[in-house]
């Protein structure tokens, strides 16, 4: 029995990006073996402006 796993082409582009230039502390092999969900999570956290800033993403919105 064969199982076919659908890989999103955009996710595979992201995987190639990180395999070519892995984040500090990781190797290309680590990236290759990551699940799609873990890869997307990593990308989200690496590209988040400031995870601990309470005002992140609410520019221009003020309660007076």
Distances (CA, A) of 64 to 2, 8, 27, 61: 60, 44, 48, 10
Would the pTM of this model clear 0.85, i.e. be above it?
no
Predicted confidence (pLDDT) per residue in 7-52, tens digit: 688 899 999 999 999 999 999 999 999 999 999 999 998 988 765 5
- Output the pLDDT for position 51: 54
């Amino acid at each position: 029995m064969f199982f076919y796993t659908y890989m999103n082409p955009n996710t595979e582009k992201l995987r190639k990006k990180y395999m070519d230039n892995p984040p500090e502390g990781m190797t290309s092999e680590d990236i290759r073996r990551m699940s799609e969900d873990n890869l997307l999570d990593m990308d989200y956290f690496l590209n988040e402006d400031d995870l601990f800033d309470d005002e992140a993403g609410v520019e221009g919105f003020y309660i007076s």
